[in-house]
Amino acid sequence: MSELISLDTFKVTETEVRGALERVKVHDVDYADLYFESCITESVSMEESLVKRATRSISQGVGVRATAGEKTGFAYSDELTKQDLEIAADTARYIAKSPAGNVTVPVPVHAKPKRDLYPVPQGQIDISTTDRVELLNAIDVEARRYDRRIKNVMASFNTEYKIVLVATSEGTMIGDVQPLSRLQVTCIAEENGNRQVGSFGGGGRLGFAFYREGDRYLNYAREAARAAILNLSAVEAPAGVMPVVLGGGWPGILLHEAIGHGLEADFNRKKTSAFSNLLGTRVASDVCTIVDDGTLPGRRGSLNMDDEGTPTSRTVLIDKGILRGYITDKLNARLMGIPVTGNGRRESYQSIVLPRMTNTFMLAGDSNPEDIIRSVDKGLYAVSFGGGQVDITNGKFVFSASEAYLIEGGKITKPVKGATLIGSGPEILTKVSMVGHDLKLDEGIGTCGKEGQSVPVGVGLPTIRIDEITVGGTQQT
């Protein structure tokens, strides 16, 4: 089971924590919390067959927050003395009009999360640099062995070991240990002056052993090399509206961009999202059911508790095409009068809590993936993507394919390069006509950006058919 995180980890006392909370929680303040964080990150990287870079960083600090109505006051410090806590508390309280000292905060009940989704011992994250170096060296050899047109291999292995503790004015004090690791491989292939790139990677709230299981790290190397070689023969992407089949797993980024961001509660409370006021209405075809689930063991987007100490959950966003739920943190749930879903997340003690996704995916349907491809006469089959982005106000989103093929006469034919898909969030899922039975989650490399904060997330998708979407390429069709 997960550990009980002691205040000693941060060299503060319960009296100091309670003192700071009482200083913030004045009459007009609805809620206050302190978020203590200690984080060690390590990274080694390889290029030109040399593991020549290694970095390690240690950070520790506290974020103090108060909310009053719609207002949020926030301050952080990398010093954890009584005086620093008090200065931060006074700043956070600035949003409230009432003077200090007339509200008592309950004695915190010190708890640990009720489950352990990532039981990774520290030793499995804090492995020796020599082991990391050996892993990357083997990747280099494997990728170059795959094809002699592979001219450069870049790989990096990153780990993070984060300990957090949240103390709230509601009288809870709860901590979590959050390990995270990621292995990423990029290959450059060259043939007759044509240079192409391919990438692959994976990770999660996992220890080092994961990458060695079944030689998974070598498979990453082969996949990155395969993608680079494939792109050597890729033709220019078509431009225009056409049916598109998305493969399972990472193409779930479509859901993250097209739907997920638009359903974050802050945008809906402020009515700045294209999905505002659409709750209970049809926004997708009835073959689409989409959830956000922070409770999957070991996944990159999973958490025992969110950064406000709320247990994460599985939230149904769209049920058979009908919009059913929002993703919430405490502030927005309170202001909107809807349930807290455990999606209050922050990049670090230096950032403010925002409603954020965890792992967002579509449930499996009953179509056969081969039938889905066969159903398309002329279109695109996309299996891997780079990044995506959305303008939540007008709902327009884009995402860029890194591995895609033409479908001609119901068959996958040539690989294409440089295809970008663009669509409208509230419309796109109404054009999904077939959903495969092959739900796949991504490999664990996703990072989501919002208001300058990055957090790890997961996505997933079965094979789906979108009847029409605009494909941006250079080739007129």
Partner 1 sequence: MNDIAPHQRFTDLAADVLAKAKASGATEADVVIADGESLSVQVRLGMVDRLSKAREKRLGLRVFVGKQSACTSTSDFSIDSLSQLVVQTCALAKAVIEDPMSGLPEAAMMAGDPPDLDLFDSTKLDTDRQIELAKRAEEAAMSADERITNSEGADFDSSAGRVVLGNSHGFIGAYRSSSYSLSVSPIASDPATGAMQRDAWYAVQRKFSKLDTPESVGVEAARRTLRRLGARKVGTTRVPVVFDQEMAGSLLGNLCSALSGYSLYKGASFLSGQLGQTIAPEYVTVYDDGRMVGGLGSRPFDGEGLATKKNTIIDRGVLKNYLLDSYSGRKLGLSSTGNASRSVGESPSAGPTNFYMTPGMHNAQEIIGTVKDGLYVTELIGFGINMVTGDYSRGAGGYWIENGELAYPVEEITIAGNLKQMLRDIELVGSDLVFRGRIASPTLKLAEMMVAGS
Nearer of residues 132 and 205 to partner 1, judged by Cβ: 132
Nearer of residues 211 and 397 to partner 1, judged by Cβ: 397
Nearer of residues 74 and 405 to partner 1, judged by Cβ: 74
* Residue window 336-355: x/- pattern of binding to partner 1, with contact defined by CB under 8 A: --------------x-x---
- For residue 202, the minimal CB distance to partner 1 (Å) is 20
Nearer of residues 44 and 448 to partner 1, judged by Cβ: 44
Judged by CB under 8 A, which of 19, 119, 298, 472 binds partner 1? 472
- For residue 92, the minimal CB distance to partner 1 (Å) is 8
Q: How far apart are CA 400 and CA 382, in angstroms?
A: 10
- What residues numbered 173-212 form the site for partner 1, per CB under 8 A? 188, 190, 195-197
Nearer of residues 73 and 342 to partner 1, judged by Cβ: 73
CA dihedral 73, 79, 81, 86 (to 10 degrees): -20
- What residues numbered 381-400 form the site for partner 1, per CB under 8 A? 386-391, 393-394, 396-400
What does DSSP say about strands 420-424 and 464-472: parallel, antiparallel, or unpaired? antiparallel
- 373 is a contact residue toward partner 1 (CB under 8 A): no
- What residues numbered 208-247 form the site for partner 1, per CB under 8 A? 237, 239-241
- For residue 122, the minimal CB distance to partner 1 (Å) is 16
Question: With helix as H, strand as E and coil as C, how does the chain read?
Answer: CCCCCCHHHHCCCHHHHHHHHHHHCCCCCCEEEEEEEEEEEEEEEEECCEEEEEEEEEEEEEEEEEEECCEEEEEEECCCCHHHHHHHHHHHHHHCCCCCCCCCCCCCEEECCCCCCCCCCHHHHCCCHHHHHHHHHHHHHHHHHHCCCEEEEEEEEEEEEEEEEEEECCCEEEEEEEEEEEEEEEEEEEECCEEEEEEEEEEECCCCHHHHHHHHHHHHHHHHHHHHHHHHCCEECEEEEEEEEECCCHHHHHHHHHHHHHHEHHHHHCCCCCCCCCCCCECCCCCCCEEEECCCCCCCCCCCECCCCCECCEEEEEECCEECCCECCHHHHHHHCCCCCCCEECCCCCCCCEECCCEEEECCCCECHHHHHHCCCEEEEEEEEEEEEEECCCCEEEEEEEEEEEEECCEEEEEEECCEEEEEHHHHHHHEEEEECCCEECCCCCEEEECCEEEECEEEECCEEEEEEEEECCEEC
- For residue 129, the minimal CB distance to partner 1 (Å) is 4
- For residue 100, the minimal CB distance to partner 1 (Å) is 17
Judged by CB under 8 A, which of 24, 29, 62, 75 binds partner 1? 75
- 61 is a contact residue toward partner 1 (CB under 8 A): yes
Binding piece for partner 1, criterion CB under 8 A, among 100-108, 405-413, 420-428, 437-445: 420-428
Q: How far apart are CA 457 and CA 256, in angstroms?
A: 9
Q: Give phi and psi for 251, each to the nearest 5.
A: -60, -10
- What residues numbered 304-333 form the site for partner 1, per CB under 8 A? none
- 412 is a contact residue toward partner 1 (CB under 8 A): no
- What residues numbered 13-52 form the site for partner 1, per CB under 8 A? 44, 47-48, 50-52
Nearer of residues 104 and 477 to partner 1, judged by Cβ: 477
- For residue 228, the minimal CB distance to partner 1 (Å) is 9
Nearer of residues 74 and 118 to partner 1, judged by Cβ: 74
Nearer of residues 15 and 128 to partner 1, judged by Cβ: 128
Q: Give phi and psi for 13, each to the nearest 5.
A: -105, 160
Judged by CB under 8 A, which of 9, 60, 285, 313 binds partner 1? 60
Nearer of residues 47 and 319 to partner 1, judged by Cβ: 47
Number of residues that bind partner 1 (CB under 8 A): 78
- What residues numbered 87-146 form the site for partner 1, per CB under 8 A? 87, 91, 94-95, 128-130, 133
- 274 is a contact residue toward partner 1 (CB under 8 A): yes
Binding piece for partner 1, criterion CB under 8 A, among 65-73, 243-251, 301-309, 321-329: 65-73
Nearer of residues 388 and 458 to partner 1, judged by Cβ: 388
